[in-house]
Amino acid sequence: MTAIEPHRVVAVVGTGTMGQGIAQVALVAGHTVRLYDAVPGRAEQAATALAARLDRLVGKGRLDASARDTALTRLHPATHLADLSDAALVAEAVLERLAVKQELFAALEDIVADDCLLATNTSSLSVTAVAGALRHPGRCVGLHFFNPAPLLPLVEVVSGAATDPAAAERAYATAAAWGKTPVRCADTPGFVVNRVARPFYAEALRVYEEGAADPATIDAVLRECGGFRMGPFELTDLIGQDVNEAVTRSVWESFFQDVRFTPSLAQRRLVEAGRLGRKSGQGWYAYGADAAPRAEAHTAGPRRAPGSVTVRGDLRAAAALPGLFQEAGIDVVFKEDGGTSCPGWIELCDGARLLLADGAAADHASVPVVHFDLALDYRAATRVALAPAAAATPAALAEAVGLFQALGKDVSVIADIPGMIVARTVAMLADFALDAAARRVAAPEDIDTAMRRGVNYPRGPVEWGAELGARWVRDTLEALHEEYPTGRYAPSQALRRLAAAQEDDAS
């Protein structure tokens, strides 16, 4: 199925930030664009704002002045809905209320041609429900742009239960022709990004609520160790705490209050207090000229590194560490203890072990343990988090801190919490992604593309889970499930099956 031809008209209904962004994308792609808003005068205001947007692009050298002038001749505010009768595609970006969208599309159905696509930009409502009021629901498809639409490449192309496959393919081809990165997905709560991304926020909030670390430290560990572009607290301040909490609550309610999607009470209280983030001047952090300096991540003071360490067994996901120790001038002695079924460790003084976070609390180990967190890349990471058991001596913790400081890393010491920060977050993201793929929400490669291109994850969660190994992800979640037996961390059936298949292949 081919894209909607550039000479065909694209109409946008709803002229807020998102509507203007979609209109700009279509306009720059060469379409004649008609803008309509139910509030008189809003379409004209939006056209003026769009002209200013294009002027800024010219000023930045991203758009030729003649191209701007030509584009503006194709931009037309519409006074009446009937003015959209020649549209080949109508994209709505109106209020996130089902009745409003249904009423709009029912009215459009009497105006536009039979081959006109009706696209909803909803992020939280069911595309199937939006199309439910139509006589011909097959023409309705979800085109979920991300804000700001002109800059962010991802578009989720959502097929409702009644969407005609040809309509979905035409919408997909059109988004691609507009220079976007489209992914196909089914009509399920949160689609791909807002479904799979929930653990990134939820686990950070859980760590905070349990008092294991403060927001600045959690953000720093996920950025500097996990490789994420922004930490969840600073990101939700940017998004808006009310917006992020509303999406979480919507997904949770749509999944019949599934415990895996449970909202955070701490975030709810922040919203109730009016601390919505950057837009209100206060969220997890303060903003504005008069704001107090932002709290810094907890960073341990300098400690002396040992001259040599003993590595016992296979460090698995942290296998790069011994080589880094050697590069730092630390002698490394390898001993094949533990066996292939048991993760390896690094010996510390006083009989303590330095272990990669595995989902269990360090205090449950048979010997004193200091856990270190998972890293996207231990060579590139600039920070590592440590969590000592109560039985670990100050000398053992100091040795662990000094060991990572010798590699040039900042070290954050957090409380002993199962799964620490990065490990539990990545394990949950990988499981959510596998579960979504198994339930045919989207293909695994589309899920990874959506998470990389939509929310800038450093690695797609399916790919990341495969690198770590399904068994590691499953074992980490099973340990977390044992610590928190609520069902929140119970591994999905898809993950269990994949891990079992890997075990069969290894035997």
Mean pLDDT of 397-421: 97
Residue 341 has a pLDDT of 56
Query: Is the model's pLDDT at 152 over the cut of 70?
Result: yes
Least confident of 231-240, 291-300, 410-419: 291-300
Q: What is the pLDDT of residues 414-471, one digit of tens each?
A: 999 999 999 999 999 999 999 999 999 999 999 999 999 999 999 999 999 999 999 9
| H or E segment and range at residue 36 | strand 32-36
* The one-letter amino acid at 316: R
Alpha-carbon torsion, ordered 94, 96, 100, 105, to 10 deg: 60
What percentage of residues in the chain have a pLDDT greater than 90? 92
Residue 116 has a pLDDT of 97
Q: Mean of the per-residue pLDDT values for the chain?
A: 95
- Which residues neighbour 125 within 8 Å (Cβ) at sequence distance 6 or greater? 96, 98, 101
Residue 414 has a pLDDT of 98
- Residues serving a catalytic function are 123, 144, 156, 194
Residue 124 has a pLDDT of 87
| H or E segment and range at residue 46 | helix 42-59
Residue 1 has a pLDDT of 67
CA distance 396 to 63: 59
Residue 56 has a pLDDT of 95
Mean pLDDT of 212-239: 98
Residue 374 has a pLDDT of 98
DSSP summary character for residue 2: P
Residue 254 binned pLDDT confidence (cut-offs 50, 70, 90): very high
Query: Is the model's pLDDT at 361 over the cut of 90?
Result: no
Q: What is the pLDDT of residues 320-353, one digit of tens each?
A: 999 999 999 999 999 976 555 578 999 998 889 9
At CB < 8 A and 24+ separation, what contacts does 70-75 make? 71/27, 71/28, 74/27, 74/30, 74/31, 74/32, 74/33, 75/23, 75/27, 75/32, 75/33, 75/35, 75/47, 75/50, 75/51
